[in-house]
Amino acid sequence: MLLLPGPSAERPNGAGAFRDRSPAPAACRHADQRRTLREGITLTGSPDPAVPDLTALLLTTRTLEAFLTTLAETVLDISPGCNGCGITLEREGHLLTVTSSGRSARQLDEEQYGQNDGPCLQALRTAQEISVQDTPTDRRWGEFPAYAAANGARSSLSLPIAARTRTPGAINLYAFAPDAFADADRTVLRAIAAQATGAIALAQRLADAPAFNDELQTVLATRALIDRATGITMARHDCAYDEALAFLKGTARRHGSTLRAVSATLVRQYGEPPNPSEPPVYP
C-alpha cells in the first residue's frame, strides 16, 4: 500500500527506507528501478520510449516517499546539468520536502518554506511551471534568489504536481550553471510530473479509505439501531414505519436529544441492547 507522508518533516527511524519484497539492498533496488525507467521498459507499453512509465515502480513500492525518492533520482539522471532535485508536498497545510536527490535541493526547498515564497511554492500554488534562468539577476521572491546563488544554484525549474488537490506539490530541479534548463526535454519532465500526480492521487485515496470505512460502519450501525427502534415503536403503537420514525424524531426534539440516543434507549428497554461502546445520552 502506498502511504502518504504525514504533515511533519520528522519521520520515525526507517520510515523513509525503500522497502519492497526483494531481498536485495535498497541502493541496488533504487539503481535497478532507475535503470528500468531510463531504458523506457514499461508495463503499459508507452508509445514513446523517451518517456519513462512509472507504473512498474508504483507496483513495487510500499510508501509514497519511496516512490518519489526513486522518481527524484530518475529526474536527476535524465536531466543534463541538473545537480539537485527535490519534491515538495503540501499536506494538511504543512510544507515538506518529501525527498531530495543531489546537492542542496532540500536546503533550497526549505529556505523557501521559511520565507513562504519562491519558485517552488509559486509552482505549487499556481499550477504553473516556473523557470529561473540566473538567480543573481532574478528579482522575484525577495531574498531567495540571492540565497540560492550563494549556495551554488544559478538556475532552477519547478514543475507542479497534483495541482489543486488536497496534496499539491512540485518537482524542483537546481543547477550550478545559469539557464541550465533551456534545452531540457520538458515533455519527458511533464510526463513524469503527470505520473507522480497519479501516484499521489492513488495514495490519497488509499489513505482516505480507512477513515471512510470507519465512518461508513458508524453510519450503518446507527441506521440499524434506528431501524430497530422504529420497529419496536411500530409494534407498540400499531403504526406505520413513517409514523413511528416521526414519533422518534419528535421525542428527540422534545428532550433536546438525538434520534440515535432516543433509539438506543428504546432498544435497551424493549429490545436488543445497543452497542456498549456507544452508550446513549438520552435517559
In whole angstroms, what is the distance from residue 121 CA to residue 88 CA? Answer: 9
Q: How much is the pLDDT for 70?
A: 84
- Pick from 53, 6, 96: nearest CA to 198: 53
- What value does the mean pLDDT of the chain take? 77
* Single-letter residue type at 12: P
The sign of the CA dihedral 36, 79, 189, 151 is positive
Segment among 12-21, 152-161, 180-189 with least mean pLDDT: 12-21
137 DSSP assignment: G
List, edge to edge, every strand of the sheet that includes 94-102. Answer: 94-102, 82-91, 169-175, 155-161, 130-132
Q: How much is the pLDDT for 53?
A: 58
Q: How much is the pLDDT for 125?
A: 95
Q: How much is the pLDDT for 67?
A: 81
**CATH code of domain 210-270:** 1.10.10.10
Helix (H, G, I), strand (E, B) or coil at 210: helix
Is the confidence at residue 176, as pLDDT, over 70? Answer: yes
In whole angstroms, what is the distance from residue 204 CA to residue 7 CA? Answer: 13
Mean pLDDT to the nearest integer, 7-36: 40
Mean pLDDT to the nearest integer, 7-21: 34
Mean pLDDT to the nearest integer, 98-113: 90
Segment among 38-47, 146-155, 203-212, 242-251 with least mean pLDDT: 38-47
Residue 13 pLDDT grade (very low, low, confident, very high; cuts 50, 70, 90) = very low
Q: How much is the pLDDT for 78?
A: 86
Q: How much is the pLDDT for 43?
A: 30
Q: Where are the domains of the chain?
A: 210-270
Residue that wins the pLDDT comparison between 5 and 257:
257
Is the confidence at residue 140, as pLDDT, over 50? Answer: yes
Is the confidence at residue 123, as pLDDT, over 90? Answer: yes
Terminal alpha carbon distance of the chain: 45
Q: How much is the pLDDT for 63?
A: 74
Residue 102 pLDDT grade (very low, low, confident, very high; cuts 50, 70, 90) = confident
Residue 143 pLDDT grade (very low, low, confident, very high; cuts 50, 70, 90) = very high
Q: What cell numbers appear for 23 in the block?
A: 531481498
In whole angstroms, what is the distance from residue 42 CA to residue 51 CA? Answer: 10
In whole angstroms, what is the distance from residue 222 CA to residue 47 CA? Answer: 51
**pLDDT single digits (tens) 75-87:** 888 888 899 999 9
Is the confidence at residue 58, as pLDDT, over 90? Answer: no
Mean pLDDT to the nearest integer, 57-77: 79
Mean pLDDT to the nearest integer, 180-206: 84
Is the confidence at residue 25, as pLDDT, over 80? Answer: no
Q: How much is the pLDDT for 142?
A: 94
